Chains A and B, each alone.
Chain A
Amino acid sequence: EEQVLIIREKLAELYESEQQWSKAAQMLSGIDLDSGVRILDDMYKLSKCVQIARLYLEDDDAVNAEAFINKASFLVSNSQQEVLNLQYKVCYARILDLKRKFLEAALRYYDISQIEKRQIGDEEIDEDALEQALSAAVTCTILAAAGPQRSRVLATLYKDERCSKLKIYPILQKVNLERILRKPEIDAFAEELKPHQKALLPDNSTVLDRAMIEHNLLSASKLYTNISFEELGTLLGIPPQKAEKIAARMIYEDRMRGSIDQVEAVIHFEDDTEELQQWDQQIAGLCQALNDILDSMTSKGM
């Protein structure tokens, strides 16, 4: 087995140098890590599992990579090797991302982006890598299904002042403040997405489309008391029937408060904020607007 292991590692190295990632991964996954003949120490097993997972991920092959990351997750808890732990974390986040578990992936990306050390083992942790992890966290959060959990992660990211320097910040701001996103902004955001994030869903729309429509629908529910599906469809850029179907699902999943009058084809949004509290909010907005006008008049010397 010893000789086989050496040959496999050598071949894997060659495949890797030719960037044939999956072949290299297959070559390594042929090594029998659990054989009773030789006692392999846990760290060696862990490093192999993580290496194979990374190779599969180079080809965006989440299924095979996940098999090895699951094996690694039993070994990583008592691993002291920080480089390996970091690689494991990155693999795990990317697998969640590829499997469209966007919210969990976002939390792991964010955790990675907060690494304080700049030197782990012989690996240099540069700011770009951390910025990429942060940006990936924002992207995944935006793609996640709208709801209270996503809002919490959005708020955390929005408060993190590193995000204000990201190219993606304007979108993050609008999504966090529950403002409606226009088509040009969505298209610009789509440019940054990875292939799997643009993949088509069974109903022939992309993950991004769904996330954006749901987001805009939630934003509209903050703006309007009620709206006809005709108007809503126009606002969201989709047919009225589809708008009604998505709204119905979100109400059913308790991610939006409201009721649908199918005879009139109108949706009535509900806001569980008490009338008197809404009144206070309206007054705060009015005073703020008055204050802004006075400030800008003062600055113009009027």
Chain B
Amino acid sequence: SFLRQVSSLLRRLPAMESEKFQDDFLMEYNDTLLVAYLAM
């Protein structure tokens, strides 16, 4: 049963894999870099 639990755990990776997620993630990444740049 452990092996089954472990394999189901691995099947849940990657945690998120949608177009929209990538967009949101990069958007936030750029925003934060911009904030850092502005603050500098």
Contacts and interface: CB of A to CB of B under 8 A. Distances in A.
A286 B24 CA distance: 21
A276 B12 contact: no
Interface of A: 274-276, 278-279, 282-283, 285-286, 289-290, 292-293, 296-297, 302
Nearest to B1: A296
Interface of B: 2, 5-6, 8-9, 12-13, 15-16, 18, 20-21, 24-25, 28
Given A276-B21, A279-B21, A289 B9 contact: yes
B24 A274 contact: yes
Contacts of A293: 2, 5-6, 9
Contacts of B16: 275, 278-279, 282
Contacts of A296: 2, 5
Contact of B15 (A279, A292, A297, A302): A279
A76 to B, nearest CB: 56
A275 B25 CA distance: 9
Contacts of B5: 289, 292-293, 296
A289 B12 contact: yes
Nearest to A285: B12
Nearest to B14: A282
27 contacts: A275-B18, A275-B20, A275-B24, A276-B21, A276-B25, A278-B21, A279-B15, A279-B21, A279-B25, A282-B12, A282-B16, A283-B15, A286-B9, A286-B12, A286-B13, A289-B9, A289-B12, A290-B9, A292-B5, A293-B2, A293-B5, A293-B6, A293-B9, A296-B2, A296-B5, A297-B2, A302-B2
B28 A276 contact: yes
Given A276-B21, A293-B9, A297-B2, A286 B28 contact: no
Nearest to B28: A276
A274 B6 CA distance: 28
Contacts of A283: 15
A297 B16 CA distance: 27
Contacts of B13: 286
B12 to A, nearest CB: 6
Given A275-B20, A278-B16, A286-B15, 8 more contacts: A275-B25, A276-B28, A278-B21, A282-B12, A285-B12, A286-B12, A293-B2, A296-B5
Nearest to A290: B9
Q: Looking at A274, A279, A290, A297, which has the most chain B CB atoms within 10 Å of its CB?
A: A279
Interface pairs A-B: 7 shortest CB-CB: A282-B15, A279-B16, A275-B21, A275-B24, A293-B5, A275-B20, A289-B9
A242 B27 CA distance: 41
A293 B12 CA distance: 14
B29 to A, nearest CB: 11
Contacts of A286: 9, 12-13, 15
Contacts of B15: 279, 282-283, 286
